[in-house]
Amino acid sequence: MLKEGTKAPSFALPDQNGQVHTLEEYRGKKVILYFYPRDNTPGCTKQACAFGELYPQFSEKDAVIIGVSKDSVASHKKFEEKYGLPFLLLSDTELKAIQAYDVWQEKNMYGKKTMGVVRTTYLIDEQGIIAKAFDKVNAAENPAQMLGEL
């Protein structure tokens, strides 16, 4: 996990509509950048839906929510449509941002070691500096926690 007070790594990734976004285009706004393992899984769905429910409050605080996983653009589009998600879901199939943000790690699933995305959320300030970093977050509670951090 990256340390608080460090510059957030740049990225250029496509969203659920295929449009490429960079971190730099959000300078001047707070960014909630959350990494999650997979679309349409129970924990990831809870986290995304909770961010969606709180979206108006994040917008009032001039904060942008961006979810990132290694799922495809098409998978993100289906996920967005199924749950009516009002924020960006970025596709990182090549693991560029996932590795740059140090969230691709060894996981232990039922005694079997595998590599995967560790659920992690970063709060990036208006100047592109990591203000807060949370790893192994509780999917259901993370959105309210991040709103509190703003």
pLDDT per position as a tens digit, 21-34: 999 999 999 999 99
The pLDDT-based confidence of 111 (bands split at 50, 70, 90) is confident
Q: Return the amino acid letter for 51.
A: F
Collapse the DSSP code of 59 into the 3-class scheme (helix H, G, I; strand E, B; otherwise coil) and give the result: helix
Which two three-digit tokens encode residue 142?
């993370």
Q: Express each pLDDT in 50-106 by its tens digit.
A: 999 999 999 999 999 999 999 999 999 999 999 999 999 999 999 999 999 999 988
Average pLDDT of the residues of the chain:
94
Q: What pLDDT was estimated at residue 112?
A: 86
What is the domain partition of the chain in residue ranges? 13-149
**Which CATH number is 13-149's, of 3.40.50.410, 3.40.30.10, 3.40.50.150, 3.40.190.10?**
3.40.30.10
Residue-wise burial string across 86-122, b where 16 or more C-beta atoms lie within 10 A, e elsewhere: ebbbbbbeeeebbeebbbbeeeeeeeeeeeebbbbbb
How many other CB atoms are found less than 10 A from the CB of residue 29? 13
Taking alpha carbons only, the member of 57, 84, 76, 65 closest to residue 15 is 76
Indicate which residues carry an active-site annotation.
44
15 Cβ partners below 8 Å, 6+ apart? 21, 73, 76, 88, 89, 90, 91
Whether the model pTM is above 0.75: yes
Phi, psi (degrees; rounded to nearest 5) at 90: -100, 140
